[in-house]
Chain A
Amino acid sequence: MSQRKRKLSDMKEGEEFRPLEFKMTPEVVGFDCIALDDRHPWYTQDSPFDGRIVPSVDAQFCAIRIAVNHRDGTLTGALFEKPGLIHYVYDAEYFEPAKLGEAVKITGKCTKCYEKRGRDYMDFEYEIRGEDGRLICKYKNSFLLTYRKEER
Chain B
Amino acid sequence: MTQTTRDLPVGHQFPPITKLMTPERMAVFSDMEHSTCAGHFQLAPPNIHNDLEFAKSEGFPNLVADGLITTYWVEATMRDLFGVGYYKGGKLMTKYIRPVYVDDEITIKLVLKEKVPEGNAIRFDLEINCFNQKDELVTVGTASALVS
Q: Which residues of A contact B (CB under 8 A)?
A: 25, 27-28, 31-32, 34-38, 40, 42, 48-49, 53, 55-58, 60-61, 64-65, 68, 75-80, 82-84, 86-97, 146-148
* Minimum CB–CB distance for B83 against chain A, Å: 7
Q: Is the CB of B34 within 8 A of A77?
A: yes
Please give, as numbers and ranges, the residues of chain B lying within 8 Å of A34 by CB-CB distance: 28, 32
The total of Cβ contacts below 8 Å across the A-B interface reads 140
Task: Digitize B28-72: 1 where CB-to-A-CB distance is under 8 Å, 0 elsewhere.
Answer: 111111111111111011111000001001111000001111011
Do the beta carbons of A77 and B87 come within 8 Å of each other?
no
List, in ascending order, chain B residues with CB within 8 A of A55's CB: 72, 75
Among the interface residues B36, B45, B88, which one has the most CB atoms of the partner chain A within 10 A? Answer: B36
Contact (Cβ within 8 A) A35 B28: yes
* B34–A146 CB distance below 8 A: no
Q: Which A residues are in CB contact (< 8 Å) with B31?
A: 35
A146 and B36: CB pair below 8 A? no
Q: Are B91 and A93 in contact (CB under 8 A)?
A: yes
Does B18 reach chain A (CB closer than 8 Å)?
Answer: no
In the assembled complex, the Cα of A68 lies from the Cα of B38 at a distance in Å of: 9
B44: contacting residue among A32, A38, A80, CB under 8 A: A80
- Residue of A32, A37, A87 touching B36 (CB-CB under 8 A): A32
Q: A90-B93, A94-B89 are in contact. Are A31 and B48 (CB under 8 A)?
A: no
Task: Tell me if A78 and B88 are in contact (CB < 8 A).
Answer: no
Q: Are B25 and A78 in contact (CB under 8 A)?
A: no
Task: Determine the chain A residues whose CB is within 8 A of the CB of B75 once the complex forms.
Answer: 55-57
Contact B58 A148 (CB under 8 A): yes
Tell me, in angstroms, the Cα distance from A69 to B40 when the chains sit together.
Answer: 15
Measured in the bound complex, the distance between the Cα atoms of B40 and A88 in whole Å is 27
